Amino acid sequence: MEKYTVGRLVAEFLELNGASTVFGIISVHNIPIMDGIAQRPGMRMVMTRGETGGSHMADGFARASGRLGVIVSSTGPGAANAVPGLVEARFAGTPVLHITGQSPQAVLGKGMGAVHDVPDQLGMLKSVCKAAFRVSSAHEALDVLRRAVLEARTAPSGPVSVEIPIDIQRLAIARPSNPDAFAAVESVVRHPSAGDVDRLAQALMRARRPMIWAGAGARHAGAEIEAFLDEGLGMVTSWAGRGVVTDDHPQNLGALNGVGSPAVQDFYKTIDLMIVVGSRLRGHETLDQKAPLPANLAQIDIDPEANGRTYANTLFVCGDCAVTLSALLARVRGRLAVEPGFAAEVRRVKAEAGEAYRATLGPYASFPSTLRAAVPADAVWVRDITISSNTWGHRLFPVHSQRDNIYPVGAGIGQGLQLGIGAAIGAGGRKVVVMTGDGGFFFNMTELWTAVQERANVVVIVMNDRGYGVIRHMQDAMCEGRYSYGDLLGPDLLKLGELAGIPAWRVSAPGDFGAAVAKAIAVDGPCLIDVDMTAIGSAPPYFPYSEMIEKARAARAS
């Protein structure tokens, strides 16, 4: 009879908890776990080219699927390689379970030079994860795994690491006879104080021009927010909150949330109540909280520490966003006195701000609408950190579902390709479109072969300006026009596609973009589009660099 090991227990636990897809690399310190996965026909092991790619793919998978993302890494250097993806999952609030090996207990932490042994690996993982645990005996493995999954899923959700020493992974144990023993505990929903909801209801019933700002923390509250739009409210979203309500809703300004949109900033001056739902009002989108928001600002968040953390508020309600909004709606439905014509004004501002922003894009003004017309309505839209993403990718390309909106919330370059591959594996057949820059694409270009091996249904669009375009803009503003360290030598991307065995096209004029995307969408599997920005023209600098450059040039001229 085959022995039942802790490694097999880990694999069975994952599958029985709906985590039947795992990302990672087999190694000396995780072979028993990988062997356990291999013995379960219902599980899929995605062999990545690096642990960094694997952790980002687990994140992308979780965001696109709504399920737990899982990365299995080796110990020491392997665990350290997974850290960038864990950091991003923490920024994004993604439930990711990281399982890593550890040195045998007899030498653990003794500095004896054991393979992959590093000082305080657990401390390293605790510093970047929501929580990190070590399994210290075979009999506690199941309880630790259950606790880790509960922690990862409990809002505010995030990545959790579990260390399992290699000698424990190999130990034979009795398989639990009760299937319920494998079930991770469901997280408890945080209900708001009735008094706080009452006070917010009174404030909303006094308002004449109320709006909602929705963040990713409101990802499960789309139906409730849309009901408030039916009551006459307007809304905007953070970049991460896009798709909570479809960007096509006429009363949703989407990610035209103020910075770089003078029409929206002027509109905020007329708003007498803004309700921030599940958003940190991050510095990346508010110029480090310098962008003016309405003075009467209420906040709903499941995290009590969010109270006034970035902007001062007049009222804070701590609770699950969907539950809180449902309770609020029950108190105010049909009782609001929103100013007549307010909804029409929101629609006017949306159109005006969109056109004004499109006018700043230079030769790329047609790209958002061209791409939207060419891709399926339910396509997953993944962006890396690049000029095109920070301008039209975040703001003007409409997305219709929160699961279709994926980008590096922590603003780390070079993560888009891996996020997109993971999303394609978790998207349930939906097409995935990744937009990256050449600089970001080169970070982990080898993961393209993971996409090929897994037949990931992903279109990779590389906005290729032969370097770090946004750094050039920053240097124009800050270094008196001196440019350094921003030009990159890279491969011919059409030849790279040929080497990988995937279709590839080059776009050298705006009018060719739609046809190339249409061809790529028709491909079953990965493909590549190289947008030659040196032929089309440079992307204009975006706010605030556009203003900084203008002032710097004026100062130099004088």
Query: How far is Cα 384 from Cα 396, in angstroms, rounded to an integer?
Result: 16
Q: Is the pTM of this model over 0.85?
A: yes
Q: Looking at domain 194-355, which of 3.40.30.10, 3.30.360.10, 3.40.50.2300, 3.40.50.1220 is its CATH number? A: 3.40.50.1220
Q: Which of 298, 270, 282 is nearest to 212 (CA)?
A: 298
**Rounded average pLDDT over 91-104:** 94
Contact 184, 149 (CB under 8 A): yes
Query: How far is Cα 336 from Cα 232, in angstroms, rounded to an integer?
Result: 8
Q: Which residues contact 65 (CB under 8 A, 6 or more apart)?
A: 403, 426, 427, 428
Q: Which fold has domain 361-557?
A: Rossmann fold (3.40.50)
The pLDDT of residue 546 is 79
**Rounded average pLDDT over 256-275:** 95
Q: What are the pLDDT digits (tens) for 32-54?
A: 999 999 999 999 999 999 999 99
H, E, C per residue of 291-355: CCCCCCEEEEECCHHHCCCCCCCCEEEECCHHHHHHHHHHHHCCCCCCCCCHHHHHHHHHHHHHH
The pLDDT of residue 186 is 86
**Rounded average pLDDT over 97-113:** 81
Q: Which two tokens stand for residue 242?
A: 């896009």
Strand 210-214 with 159-165, pairing: unpaired
Tell me: pLDDT of 460 over 60.
yes
Query: How far is Cα 466 from Cα 317, in angstroms, rounded to an integer?
Result: 48
Q: Residue 504 — φ and ψ, nearest 5°?
A: -150, 145
Q: Looking at domain 6-182, which of 3.40.50.970, 3.30.300.30, 3.40.1190.20, 3.90.1150.10 is its CATH number? A: 3.40.50.970
Q: How many other CB atoms are there within 10 angstroms of residue 374's CB atom?
A: 19
Contact 3, 26 (CB under 8 A): no
Tell me: pLDDT of 107 over 80.
no
Contact 420, 382 (CB under 8 A): yes
Q: Which two tokens stand for residue 528?
A: 């590549």
Q: Helix-strand-coil percent breakdown of the chain, rounded to 5?
A: 45, 15, 40
Q: Residue 335 — φ and ψ, nearest 5°?
A: -115, 5
- Decide: residue 178, CB within 10 A, 0-12 exposed, 13-18 middle, 19+ buried: exposed
Tell me: pLDDT of 245 over 80.
yes
* pLDDT band for position 415 (cuts 50, 70, 90): very high
The pLDDT of residue 113 is 65
Least confident residue range of 1-15, 342-356, 362-376, 512-526: 1-15
Q: What are the pLDDT digits (tens) for 118-160?
A: 889 999 999 999 999 999 999 999 999 999 999 999 999 999 9
Question: How large a percentage of the chain has pLDDT more than 90?
Answer: 86
Tell me: pLDDT of 112 over 70.
no
Contact 273, 288 (CB under 8 A): no
* Domain positions in the chain: 6-182, 194-355, 361-557
* pLDDT band for position 464 (cuts 50, 70, 90): very high
Instruction: Please state the separation of Cα 296 from the chain's center in Å.
Output: 29
The pLDDT of residue 416 is 98
Mean pLDDT of all residues in the chain?
95
Tell me: pLDDT of 102 over 90.
no
Residue 262: enclosing H or E segment and its boundaries? Answer: helix 262-268
* pLDDT band for position 473 (cuts 50, 70, 90): confident
Q: Which residues contact 163 (CB under 8 A, 6 or more apart)?
A: 75, 100, 101, 102, 121, 122, 125, 132, 133, 134, 135
**Rounded average pLDDT over 281-293:** 92
